[in-house]
């Protein structure tokens, strides 16, 4: 654990020993003057929240960097490292110890002898340092715990400062995904009062975004923060999802969706309807935005073929976050591409399912987004007079979005064809075995040669010469599966089958 004051550049060495396969976590905790009530209120849950968040999101083996930030000044660098280590059993204790020694920062010197002013805040500086100098442009997660006051040099033009922070989030290529968790946390200090706290998480790189999605899906964030995340970025993908309600006009076809969002179409092997009418619910998944208006289109891709989905409505309107509205569609089914029940694929899938992967793509055009009035009211209550929520204003250039719904078409083949085929194969094997036995088994044939009764041992397919008493060949005996016959019988010879 490091308690020495380090500049942003000094944080670079703190993740040198991280596991290359792990996604590092950087946790930035604001300690500027505006945070005074969070540190001085005896009932403040601020530090326990930060410790619980670090313990929940950073898993064993992850590289964890904990740092305090305000605004960097000569003699008072920011961010300042508090801890850097590979997460292990002792890490939660180390985090709590580091936070216990953290207090509100003051500027070096002061306006009058013996006095010092409380430090200002620069959110952009802190996030940039984490992205460029700690992570070095590599994948990772940057968590920022702040009271949402962005005022470098005590600048009262907070709108302009927030615009810089807005551009870093929305137009910076380093951030692939950004979420915000506004939390209610009323605290009272000697100088200020506050109603709320904001926790941001910025995912750097695609792997960082995937790690954030895994964290959210695992419920590890929700153990600490029960509020739903507000999305800052991206706003041009995964804005809606389709949930099937009913299938009409396609006997033997059923749709369902699992907890992970995978759509399954279970198809009977004898289903041959070329299309199905599917009734969906289209849901808005971009809290806290309302989709005021957007044109909607969809297509499916199955067996390498893209097919349009005919929708019952060409637009969605006033779709609030979390709200769903019905949408009818006609979907082409890939019945021509499905293997027949006597095909090799069907026989290999007997008793289980033959899976045909695909996807459904939904496109929104002329998309108009607006913040939910309920969210605006909540932000005003948590951060009164603070214009920072403008970072939630969608960028003007985002007028379209896409959503991809993974799809599996599963054909359930019964075992009857396989059983019949196996039975036929066994019957053929039995017949072949019987024929082989019959062909190879020894046979005895009774012959009469010149009134002498003889017994000849032979096998199917054999041809044996027959001799008289003088040793002259008088005939040949040919044996088949079906009997015996004499060949090349010499003229005047007295040879016959049987007695």
**What average pLDDT does range 483-499 have in this prediction?**
78
**What average pLDDT does range 119-123 have in this prediction?**
86
124 and 190, same domain (yes or no): yes
| Structural domain boundaries enclosing 12 | 8-233
Residue 155 is predicted with a pLDDT of: 59
Residue 113 lies in a domain: yes
Residue 154 is predicted with a pLDDT of: 60
pLDDT bin (cut points 50, 70, 90) of residue 494 is confident
Residue 426 lies in a domain: no
Residue 376 lies in a domain: yes
52 and 166, same domain (yes or no): yes
Residue 10 is predicted with a pLDDT of: 41
**What average pLDDT does range 61-80 have in this prediction?**
90
Read off the pLDDT of residues 213-230 as tens digits, 9 standing for 90 and up. 999 999 999 999 999 999
**What average pLDDT does range 243-253 have in this prediction?**
76
pLDDT bin (cut points 50, 70, 90) of residue 389 is low
Bigger pLDDT: 495 vs 416: 495
Bigger pLDDT: 302 vs 18: 302
Domain finish residue from 383, 399, 417: 417
Residue 111 has pLDDT above 50, yes or no: no
Residue 273 lies in a domain: yes
pLDDT bin (cut points 50, 70, 90) of residue 169 is confident
Residue 418 has pLDDT above 70, yes or no: no
Share of the chain above pLDDT 70, in %: 79
Bigger pLDDT: 383 vs 21: 383
β partners of residue 65: 26, 84
386 and 471, same domain (yes or no): no
Residue 423 is predicted with a pLDDT of: 56
Bigger pLDDT: 97 vs 253: 97
Bigger pLDDT: 311 vs 304: 311
Which range has highest mean pLDDT (37-41, 312-316, 399-403)? 37-41
How many separate domains does the chain show?
3
Residue 141 is predicted with a pLDDT of: 96
Residue 412 is predicted with a pLDDT of: 63
228 and 244, same domain (yes or no): no
Residue 1 lies in a domain: no
Domain finish residue from 233, 255, 271: 233
Instruction: Read off the pTM.
Output: 0.74
Read off the pLDDT of residues 127-143 as tens digits, 9 standing for 90 and up. 999 999 899 889 999 99
413 and 472, same domain (yes or no): no
Least confident of 61-75, 178-192, 208-222, 373-387: 373-387
Residue 19 is predicted with a pLDDT of: 45
**What average pLDDT does range 391-403 have in this prediction?**
81
245 and 386, same domain (yes or no): yes
Distance of alpha carbon 83 from alpha carbon 206, whole angstroms: 26
Residue 348 is predicted with a pLDDT of: 52
Residue 430 lies in a domain: no
Residue 195 has pLDDT above 70, yes or no: yes
Residue 469 is predicted with a pLDDT of: 79
206 and 244, same domain (yes or no): no
**What average pLDDT does range 69-86 have in this prediction?**
89
pLDDT bin (cut points 50, 70, 90) of residue 349 is very low
**What average pLDDT does range 71-82 have in this prediction?**
88
94 and 129, same domain (yes or no): yes
pLDDT bin (cut points 50, 70, 90) of residue 7 is very low
CA gyration radius, the chain: 40
- Residue 35 tokens read as 């945070």
Residue 239 has pLDDT above 80, yes or no: yes
**What average pLDDT does range 264-286 have in this prediction?**
77
Least confident of 160-164, 175-179, 287-291, 489-493: 160-164
Mean pLDDT, the chain, whole residue set? 80
Residue 112 has pLDDT above 60, yes or no: no
258 and 398, same domain (yes or no): yes
Least confident of 57-61, 70-74, 251-255: 251-255
**What average pLDDT does range 306-314 have in this prediction?**
88
Bigger pLDDT: 372 vs 396: 372
């Amino acid at each position: 654990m490091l308690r020495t004051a380090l500049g942003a550049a000094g944080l670079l060495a703190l993740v040198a020993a991280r596991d290359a396969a792990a996604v590092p976590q950087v946790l930035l905790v604001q300690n500027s003057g505006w945070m005074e009530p969070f540190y001085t209120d005896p009932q403040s849950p601020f530090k326990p929240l930060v410790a619980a968040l670090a313990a929940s999101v950073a898993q064993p083996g992850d590289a964890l960097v904990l740092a305090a930030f305000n605004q960097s000044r000569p003699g008072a660098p920011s961010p300042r490292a508090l801890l850097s280590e590979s997460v292990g059993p002792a890490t939660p204790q180390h985090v709590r110890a580091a936070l216990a020694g953290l207090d509100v920062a003051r500027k070096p010197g002061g306006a009058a002898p013996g006095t010092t002013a409380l430090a200002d805040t620069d959110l952009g500086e802190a996030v940039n340092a984490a992205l460029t100098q700690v992570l070095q442009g590599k994948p990772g997660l940057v968590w920022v715990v702040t009271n949402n006051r962005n005022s470098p040099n005590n600048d009262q033009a907070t709108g302009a400062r927030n615009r810089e922070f807005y551009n870093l989030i929305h137009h910076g290529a380093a951030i692939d995904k950004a979420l915000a968790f506004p939390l209610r946390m009323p605290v009272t200090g000697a100088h200020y009062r506050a109603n709320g706290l904001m926790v941001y998480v910025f995912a750097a790189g695609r792997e960082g975004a995937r790690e954030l999605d895994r964290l959210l899906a695992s419920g590890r964030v929700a153990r600490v923060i029960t509020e739903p995340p507000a999305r800052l970025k991206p706003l041009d993908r995964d804005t809606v999802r389709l949930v099937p309600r009913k299938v009409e006009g396609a006997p033997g076809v059923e749709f369902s969706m699992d907890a992970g969002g995978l759509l399954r179409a279970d198809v009977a092997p004898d289903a041959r309807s070329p299309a199905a009418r599917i009734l969906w619910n289209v849901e808005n998944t971009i809290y806290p935005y309302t989709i005021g208006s957007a044109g909607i289109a969809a297509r499916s891709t199955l067996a390498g073929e893209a097919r349009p989905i005919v929708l019952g409505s060409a637009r969605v309107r006033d779709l609030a976050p979390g709200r769903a509205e019905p949408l009818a569609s006609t979907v082409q089914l890939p019945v021509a591409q499905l293997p027949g029940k006597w095909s090799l694929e069907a026989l290999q899938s007997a008793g289980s399912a033959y899976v045909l992967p695909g996807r459904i793509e939904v496109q929104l055009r002329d998309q108009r987004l607006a913040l939910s009035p309920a969210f605006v009211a909540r932000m005003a209550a948590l951060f009164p007079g603070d214009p920072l929520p403008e970072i939630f204003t969608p960028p003007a250039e985002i007028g379209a979005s896409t959503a991809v719904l993974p799809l599996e078409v599963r054909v359930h083949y019964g075992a009857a064809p396989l059983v019949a085929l196996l039975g036929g194969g066994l019957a053929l094997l039995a017949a072949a075995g019987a024929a082989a036995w019959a062909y190879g088994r020894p046979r005895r044939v009774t012959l009469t040669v010149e009134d002498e009764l003889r017994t000849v041992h032979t096998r199917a397919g054999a041809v044996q010469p027959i001799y008289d008493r003088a040793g002259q060949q008088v005939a040949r005996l040919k044996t088949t599966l079906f009997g015996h016959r004499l060949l090349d019988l010499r003229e005047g010879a007295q040879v016959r089958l049987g007695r």
